[in-house]
Structure 1
Amino acid sequence: MSLVTLQLGQCGNQVGNSLFNFLADDISRQGTTAAEDSQEVFFRPICAKGPGHGIRQQARAVLVDMEQKVVAAALRPARGASWAYPPGSSLTQQSGSGNNWARGYFEYGPKHTADVIELVRRETEAADYLGGILTLQSAAGGTGSGFGAAVMEGLRDELPSTLFLNHCVWPFDSGEVIVQSYNTLLTLQHLTASCDAIILAENSALHRTCQRMLNIPRPSLPDLNGVIAHDLASVLLPAKLRGGRQLSLLSGVIGALGAHPAYRLASLQSVPQLPSSSVDFTSFAWPGLLKRLRQMLITGAYMEEGLDWSATPLPNEQHTWQRPHNKALSALLTLRGSQASAADTGGFADPSLYPSWQVQPLSVALSSVPFARCEMSASLLSCNQACARPVARMRSRATSMLAAKAYIHQYEAFGLSLQDMQAAVNCAEETVCRYDQLG
C-alpha cells in the first residue's frame, strides 16, 4: 500500500523535501521488515544509481510550482542522499502568482490543472495499491493556496473515491503577506469542500517549538519544516491498531478522525519535543509522555513547555458557565517504541474529553519500532476545538479589511468578487461556530 504526495507551491515543496529526507533517514534505522514496509509506502526502489549519489529509491511524489527555483533545487538530490524525486514528476512555469489567490485560482487553474492531474494519475498508477493522496501547501500565498485549491477541486472530480489528507501551513498572524487573511480564508473554504481532512500547522506554534524546545534561537524555514516533517512521519509511518489490525494509511487515519463533513480541521501534536543532541541523554517512560500529551489535548497546546496543569476536563453534564477545556470530536493516538502495547492509554478514553454524543472517539495505533531515535514517542492527531482558534483570528482581520474594501481591486482583476470574499469569511465563521459547539 502506497501514499502519493502532492507538493504545491514553494511551501509545499520545501515541506515535502524535508518530509522525504526525514523518512529516508528514519527508515534507514529500522529493522529489515519494518524498513521494507515503510519504504513501500513512501518510496519505490530503483536499480540505477545517480551519478555520485548512490540513489536507491524514488519518492512517490509530484512537485508543482509556478516558479522554477524551489522545484529545481528539490530535484537535485543532496550529496549522500539515498533517494530522489522521479524524473518527469514536476510542473513549473516562469512566473508566480504574486501572493494573489485569485490569480492562482482563476488564471493558472484553468491552464494547468489538467497537467497536474495527469502527473498525479501517472504516480498513482505506479503504486500497487493506492492508500490515498497527501497534499502539502500553504494557506497564505498565491500558487500553493489559489492554484492549489483549483488543483484539489480537479483531483476530487477526477478521483472521487480517493482519500485526500491535506497538510496546510497556516501563516503567522502578521508580517508575512499583507493580504494573507484573504488568501487564507479563501483557501480554507475550498479545501474543506475538496479534502477529507486538513491538518493545520501554525507557523507561530512551530516557531515557538523551535526556540523553546529545540534550542534554536533564530529558527529558519528549514527548522520549521523539520518539525512538520517529524510530526507528519509520526502518524503516517506504518502501525497497527490496538487489537492487531494494520492501520490502513489514509483510510485508517481519516477514519479515526471521523471524516465528518462539518469537521475537516485537525491538529497534530507529538512528544517528546527535544533537540536531537539530547536524545541519547534522555530517559523515556510512557506514563510521563502520555501525561504531557493528554494535557496538551486538554489545553489545546502544541508545545510541551508551559502547560497549564490546573486545567482539567469537566464532565459533560457540568454547566457551560464553568471554565471550559479544549474538547475533541475524535482522536488517533499513535505510540511508537519499546513496550508500546503495554502503555496505559486510558486517560485518552476519558468521556469528558469528547462530546457526549460521540460513541467511539479514540483510536490507538501501536508500533514497536522506535521513531526519530527515541526509545519511546507518541503523537496525537485530533479534530478538536483548538483548530478553530487561528481561523477565528484570521476571520477577524479579514472582516476589518473587507469593511474598508482594502486590496479588493487586486482580486477583482482576476474575477473574484466582493461577494466571493464575503462568502469565504462566512464559511470561516460557520467553521468556528461548529467547533465551539463541541464544548
Structure 2
Amino acid sequence: MPITVALGQCGNQISHCLTELMWDEGLRDGFFVEKQNGKVYARNVLIDMEPKVIESVMKKSEANAWNYSKTAAITARSGSGNNWAFGYSVLGERNQETIQRQIRKLAEDSDSINDGFLVMLAMAGGTGSGVGSRTVESIREEYGSKVPIVAHAVWPYSTGEVVVQNYNTLLTLNSLNNSTDGIIFHQNSSITDIIQSRFDLKNVAYSDINNYVAKELASILLPIKDSDGALHKMPIYQIAVDLCPSPNFKCLTPRSLPQLHNPKRAFLTYSNDLLLKYMHQLCLTGNFNENSGNMNMKSVTNRSIAMNAYIRGKNEGCEKIESCLNDDKIFSDKIAPTDRFNSYLAKKPFLKHETFLSTLSADQTLIEPLETVLSQSWDMFNHRAFLHRYEAYSIDSEHFVNSFAHLEQMQHSLKSL
C-alpha cells in the first residue's frame, strides 16, 4: 500500500476525493490501516501552508468509518504567495523535519507494507509546487531508489491562474523529473472540456474536476489481475516498473472511458468492442474527449513508448485488449514489442459501470503544453520579468537555465518517439 502525501489546496482536495473513493470501492487494505484499537486510518500526510483546506478535509472525515490520524495534518500560518522559490527554499525547508517525521511514522508502521509514495500536487502555485518539490527531494534522499515515488501533478490552464505559473510549472517539472520514478499528469483544460461536453455541465467547478480526476486515478490504482491471473496490490511499484523505462520518459497520461455521468446510459450504450475502439483512437491521436474518437481517422499524431490498459467489470480477456490497443502504429520502436504493453483485468464493476476502461501511457501528450511553458517562460526570463521574486529566495538564473536545459532535453526525447 502506498503512502499518500498531499500538498497544497489542489493536492489535498483530490487526495481526499481519491481516499473516499478507494474506501467506497472496497480498497480497505490498500490505502488504509486498521490499528489495535479497531480504528481505521488513511495512510495520508496532509500538507498545506494555509490551514483552511486541511481543516475542511479533516472535518469531512469525522463522519466516515475511517479517519485521518491527528498528526496527519501539517500546516503553517501563511501560504507561499504563488512563489515556487518561497515554497521551496523557505516554507519547504522550514517544515521539512516535521513533514519527514510524519512520513517516517507511516513508513515504519509494522501493520503496513510500503508500496512507495504517491505525491499529489498542483504545479501553478507555490505550496503544492515549491513545498512539494522540496518534500519529494527529501523523500528520495531518505529512502533512496529502492522505494518508488510516483507523483500526481495537475497541469494549469494555459492562462488565467497565476502570472508566474509558467515559471512555477517549469521548476516543479524539473524537480519532479529528477526525484520521482514517474509523474501522472492531468490537465485542467482537458478535464474541463470532458465535463462540459460529456456531462452537459457548462459551469465547471474545481470540485467537479477533482472528482473526475479521483475517479480516473482510482481506476488505475485499485487492485487488479494481470494477464497471468496474478493479483496486483502494489500499484506504485507496478506503474514505475511497467511504464518508466528511462529518465526522459517519466511523464504518464491517463485516459478513461466511458465518459458519461449516468452509469445506466453506459450500460445501454457501450460494448467492450466499442470502448476499445474509441480508446484506440484517443491513444492514436492524443485526445482525451470521447467526442474526439473519430473512427475514420487513420493518421498517428501521438506515439507511446509504453502503456498499461485496465478494464474493470464485464470483459472478454486480455487477448482482445491487446489485439486492439497493442498496435504498432501507436508505439515507438524504441522499446521491444514484448515490453511496451501490459493489460490488467478485474471482474468487479467500477462505479456501477458495467465496463470501465482506463489506460496509462508514456506518450507524446505533453509536447504541446510543455512547449507553451518553455516558450512563455523563456520570454519572461529574457526580459527578467519577476525574477527578483525568485532570486530573493536563492533561486538564481543558473537554476532557471538548468531547468530549461533539462526540460528541453525531455521535449526533444518526446518528439523523437
TM-score by length of 2: 0.94
Give, in whole Å, the separation in 1 of the partners of 2:169 and 2:215: 24
Task: Indicate the larger mover: 183-192 or 86-95.
Answer: 86-95
Cα distance change, pair 341–57 in 1 and its aligned pair in 2 (3 A): farther
**Is 1:344 paired with 2:328?**
no
SS at match of 1:382: strand
Question: What is the aligned partner in structure 1 of residue 236 from structure 2?
Answer: 250
Give, in whole Å, the separation in 1 of the partners of 2:228 and 2:62: 42
Amino acid across the alignment from 1:147: V
Query: 1:312 is matched with which residue: 280, 298, 301?
Result: 298
Give, in whole Å, the separation in 2 of the partners of 1:340 and 1:46: 39
Give, in whole Å, the separation in 1 of the partners of 2:46 and 2:298: 44
Q: Deviations over 1:124-172 (max 9, x none)?
A: 2225311121010011110110111011001001011110110000000
Q: CA deviation at 1:79?
A: 7.2
Q: Is the 8 A contact 2:303 2:363 kept in 1?
A: yes
Question: What is the aligned partner in structure 1 of residue 12 from structure 2?
Answer: 13
Count of residues in correspondence between the two structures: 411
**Is 1:293 paired with 2:272?**
no
**Is 1:327 paired with 2:303?**
yes
Q: Superposition pairs for residues 181-200 of structure 1, below 5 Å?
A: 181-200=166-185
Question: What is the aligned partner in structure 2 of residue 147 from structure 1?
Answer: 131
Query: 1:45 is matched with which residue: 30, 34, 39?
Result: 34
SS at match of 2:116: strand
SS at match of 2:117: strand
Give, in whole Å, the separation in 1 of the partners of 2:212 and 2:22: 13
Give, in whole Å, the separation in 2 of the partners of 1:81 and 1:409: 46
**Is 1:93 paired with 2:84?**
no
Cα distance change, pair 381–342 in 1 and its aligned pair in 2 (3 A): closer
Amino acid across the alignment from 2:206: L
Query: 1:69 is matched with which residue: 52, 62, 65?
Result: 52
Q: Is the 8 A contact 1:299 1:308 kept in 2?
A: no
Give, in whole Å, the separation in 1 of the partners of 2:406 and 2:416: 16
Query: 1:131 is matched with which residue: 97, 115, 119?
Result: 115
Q: CA deviation at 1:201?
A: 0.6
Amino acid across the alignment from 2:49: M
Q: CA deviation at 1:432?
A: 1.1
Question: What is the aligned partner in structure 2 of residue 393 from structure 1?
Answer: 372
Question: What is the aligned partner in structure 2 of residue 116 from structure 1?
Answer: 99
Amino acid across the alignment from 2:225: K
Amino acid across the alignment from 1:432: Q
SS at match of 1:131: coil
**Is 1:355 paired with 2:344?**
no
Query: 1:234 is matched with which residue: 197, 205, 219?
Result: 219
TM-score by length of 1: 0.90
Give, in whole Å, the separation in 1 of the partners of 2:199 and 2:40: 30
Give, in whole Å, the separation in 2 of the partners of 1:106 and 1:422: 18
SS at match of 1:352: coil
Q: Is the 8 A contact 1:272 1:289 kept in 2?
A: yes
Q: Deviations over 1:37-66 (max 9, x none)?
A: x211111235769xxxxxx63211000111
Q: CA deviation at 1:306?
A: 2.5
Q: CA deviation at 1:80?
A: 4.8
RMSD: 1.8
Give, in whole Å, the separation in 2 of the partners of 1:251 and 1:281: 33
Q: Deviations over 1:85-126 (max 9, x none)?
A: 122111100011100000011112221112111111111222
Question: What is the aligned partner in structure 2 of residue 35 from structure 1?
Answer: none
Give, in whole Å, the separation in 1 of the partners of 2:141 and 2:315: 44
Question: What is the aligned partner in structure 2 of residue 30 from structure 1?
Answer: none
Q: CA deviation at 1:278?
A: 4.5
Amino acid across the alignment from 1:254: A
Amino acid across the alignment from 1:148: G
Query: 2:408 is matched with which residue: 429, 432, 439?
Result: 429
Amino acid across the alignment from 1:17: H
Give, in whole Å, the separation in 1 of the partners of 2:274 and 2:62: 39
Q: CA deviation at 1:308?
A: 3.9
- Identity among equivalent positions (%) equals 29
Q: Is the 8 A contact 1:164 1:195 kept in 2?
A: yes
SS at match of 1:416: coil
Q: Extract unaligned runs of 5+ from structure 1.
A: 28-37, 50-55, 314-323
Give, in whole Å, the separation in 1 of the partners of 2:278 and 2:79: 42
Task: Indicate the larger mover: 335-344 or 211-220.
Answer: 335-344
SS at match of 2:138: helix
Q: Deviations over 1:248-297 (max 9, x none)?
A: 42221221103421111010001111113645763431100111111110
Question: What is the aligned partner in structure 2 of residue 34 from structure 1?
Answer: none
Query: 2:251 is matched with which residue: 247, 254, 265?
Result: 265
